[in-house]
Structure 1
Amino acid sequence: MNLDFYMLTQDHRIQGALKPLGVREHLRSKEADASKNYLHFLIEKAERVVEVDFIEKPLPLMSDRLKQLIEKFSPKLKFQPAGLMNLEKGEQYWYWLASFPKVACLSAASEFHLNGTMKRIVIDPAKAGNHPIFQLESPLEHYVVVNLMLAESMLRRDFTGLKLTSVEQDQ
């Protein structure tokens, strides 16, 4: 089995990681307008806030450092700034919402739960193409996948709060 693809997820062991509130509701609302310069959201209260480099849910958000690296591999990706605010303490943290290409690259060997969520992810490398970073095409879940070159580059840097897990792929 080749290990050419890695799932990019948030490391949930980090206590106090920034957690945005109301993201999905805002994006679904009639007010959500792609032409706005930036988004802004409140964060969940925490005693000590940790600025992680990748926030997985409710939508993938990344730090400026991670965005800069990803831009080197995917210069055509579009990003929208998102301010995460702690009104109580008067703090604001800047993140980026990326428009990852959605790629239908699941192999027939992939398995699903009865509710349609993924049970076993298997990527067909021929369908995945040469995207350094992409989102699996799935109506129910957001899975961000990176290729080996980008994964290695991420691991060489001191990012906080992200995890890379190998993804099974067809031979």
Structure 2
Amino acid sequence: MMNVTDDAALSNMTLYAQLKMTVDSLTPKRARVFTTDILRAWGEQDLVDDAVLIVSELVTNAFRHARRQGPEELTGLTVQNIETVTLLLELWPDAVGIHLQDGSPILPVPRTALDDQENGRGLQIVAALTQSWVAAPVAANGKRITTFLRRDSAHSA
């Protein structure tokens, strides 16, 4: 039995929270709310703004680029998309991990946007805010993007 006052044991503990969502126009909002609620519950208020921006960029990219396009979408008919993404948050002693998995095997590629372009800065934002990020294929014909936000040293002491 673990003694909850044992700081050494608590510093090695990792917490997880996962949300699986159907990809539609409301997915980014659901992901932002989930991220905010979980990080606040974990006492990581200082990381909420950066984490929400990262999650929003990753989920929006999945919505825009990673969905499989069926014949209905290619012809312009509106059909509910049945693709899903899974958002996993992890609380480590020194970082918060943010993982997004989708069904597309196409890995994201950072772009350089012109000043007058509205899109193309998402991965630059992710790179600027995170300790590190990586995208890798997963066995089930998809990919997982993993990012890490450094926690305040006071939390990990």
> Is the pair's TM-score, using the shorter chain for normalization, greater than 0.5?
no
Bigger share in strand: 1
Give the TM-score normalised by structure 2.
0.27
Bigger share in helix: 2
Higher relative contact order (CA 8 A, sep 6+): 1
- CA radius of gyration, larger in: 2
Give the TM-score normalised by structure 1.
0.26
